[in-house]
Amino acid sequence: MDQNYPQDLQKAIDFHGHFCPGLAIGYRAAKAAMEKLQAERAEDEELIAIVETDACGVDAVQSLLGCTIGKGNLIYKDYGKQVYTIASRKQDKAVRVALKANVFTHQENLRAAVFSGQASDEQIREFQAMQQAISQQLLAKATDSLFKVDLVEMPLPHPARIFKSVTCDFCGEEVMEPRARLKNGKIACLSCNEEYTRGW
C-alpha cells in the first residue's frame, strides 16, 4: 500500500482487508467518540459500542475501540444507519456519532455496474479510484462536517455474563440456558424450536 496512514487506521485496514469509504466513516466516528469521551481503546468492557449498521465502519470501531461481539461490548441494532453510540463505563457517559446526510456522492450507474458483476475492467478501475478519492476526502474533512456528535444519556447495558449450558434434546448441541426453549417438554435450541405464530 502506497499510503502512509496513521498506525491505528492501518491496523483497521489490515483487519478489514481493504480501505474504503465505509471503513473511513467508522474510523472517523470512532476517533470522534474517543475525543469527546477522552477515552482509550478498551482492554475489556470499559467501552461499549452500539452500532446501527452492519457495514464496513463497524470493523474500524472494533479495531480502534476494542469493542467486539466476543467481549460482549459490541451491540448491533439492525437500523441501516451510519450511527455509532459509544459509552464509557468509567465515566458513565455516552456519545452518539451520526453521519450527516449527503457528505459524499457515488456515481450510481458505475456503482450498479460494478456490484452487478457487469462492469468492464475500465469501469472497475474507475470505481476503485472513486472509492479511494472518497475515502481520502472522508479522512480530510472536519469532524463537524461529517457527523452530528452529541453526548447522550442512556442506561448502560450490564456487563457480559457467562451462562450455564444445556444440551438440546433434538440436535444434541449445547446452548446457553437463557436461549433454550421447551418443545413438547424437551429442551430445544432456537434453531430446533419452531416459533408459534397466529399467521399475522
Domains (ranges, CATH) in the chain? 7-103+141-152 (3.30.1330.20), 162-200 (3.30.60.20)
Do residues 183 and 175 touch, judged by C-beta distance below 8 A? no
The residues, ordered by sequence, that sit 6+ positions from 131 with a Cβ below 8 Å of its Cβ are: 20, 21
- Name residue 175's beta-bridge partners: 166
Q: What is the mean pLDDT of residues 141-165?
A: 91
CB 19 within 8 A of CB 137: no
Question: Could you tell me if 160 and 72 are in contact, meaning their C-beta atoms sit under 8 angstroms apart?
Answer: yes
Instruction: Return the pLDDT at 1.
Output: 44
Each residue's pLDDT tens digit, 77-123 = 999 999 999 999 999 999 999 999 988 877 788 888 888 888 889 99
Segment of 35-49, 104-118, 147-161 carrying the highest mean pLDDT: 35-49
- For residue 97, the cross-strand partners are 84, 149
Give kind and range of the element (H or E) at residue 58.
Answer: helix 57-65
Confidence tier at 157 by pLDDT (50, 70, 90):
confident
Categorise residue 58: left if φ over 0, alpha if ψ from -120 to 50, beta otherwise.
alpha
CA distance 78 to 63: 20
Q: What are the cell numbers at 71?
A: 467481549
Q: Is the pLDDT of residue 196 over 70?
A: no
Neighbours of 93 (CB within 10 A): 18
Is the model more confident about 105 or about 184? Answer: 184
